[in-house]
Amino acid sequence: MSEQIPGADADAGADARAGAGAPAAPLLLVEHSGLIATVTLNRPEKRNALNRELLELLVQTLRGFEQDGTTRVVVLRGDRRAFAAGADIGALSDAGAIDLYTAGFSELWDDVAAMKLPLVAAVSGYALGGGLELALICDVVVAADSARFGFPEAGIGIIPGAGGTQRIVRAVGKSMAMDLVLTGRRLDAAEALASGLVSRVVTEDALDAEAHTVAERIAAGAPLATRMAKHAVLSAYDTGLTAGVAHERTLSALIAASADRAEGMRAFSERTTPEFEGK
């Protein structure tokens, strides 16, 4: 089932795309397939540059999925030219330091990062600047062989501001992170795979199917266990080893109280397929 999520986009590009007097195209397209929701960023005339309206709508949409009781995994994608070619610089260029600090724009990436549902990024074309920061937030990144990743900010006198300098170090290590941030180097898909930035690379035509396959395997797991496992892995970003292991141990014990755990153990012993309910 496909649906369009309405979202007002008042920039000139949207007006040109829609035509005089015509409604603007939706900023997000959503398709549901069983337990999986696919969200497509839809600003093709801007190479899916991330403006406030789009990000706020994305956060609202993801929160809706977390509350609907049926969605277990979200696939986030752009189009063939770009996953997202950055934040919308035009919307930010006139803002002063205090305006930028207090606007809450960068915090919208934090809102996406706070989602409990697993997020699978399907990256084709450019994932630059804020677009790369969005991909770094996703739990699994599947890339087409056309994908290009980078931080061009230093070349226009700014730095990544939505968590990029922090997450990229954790993804690829200090030396590669410095190379990307300081030189503006762009990684192709093969380099991104070798550096650990993405987990899989496929052909352009196979991208959506591969991302959906990953999502299906995640959705087949017990929902509570999946969310707790995601939380435990992410805690490794934010804590030292000793604290992270203690947190994992707590979650591992807590999941034993779930109905899904009992169902999983029953299905294993009876050699049947478990029917998880997220309880």
Active site residues: 87, 130, 133, 153
Whether the CB-CB separation of 81 and 44 falls below 8 Å is answered with yes
Q: Where does residue 239 fall: left (phi above 0), alpha (psi -120 to 50 degrees), or beta otherwise? A: beta
3-state SS, 98-166, equals HHHHHCCCCHHHHHHHCCCCCEEEEECCEEECHHHHHHHHCCEEEEECCCEEECCHHHHCCCCCCCHHH
What are the φ/ψ torsions at residue 22 (nearest 5 degrees)? -90, 150
Q: Residue 23: helix, strand or coil by DSSP?
A: coil
Q: How far apart are CA 76 and CA 71, in angstroms?
A: 14
Q: Which among 81, 70, 60 is positioned nearest to 37, based on CA atoms?
A: 70
Pairing relationship of beta strands 36-41 and 73-77 according to DSSP bridges: parallel
Q: Residue 236: helix, strand or coil by DSSP?
A: helix
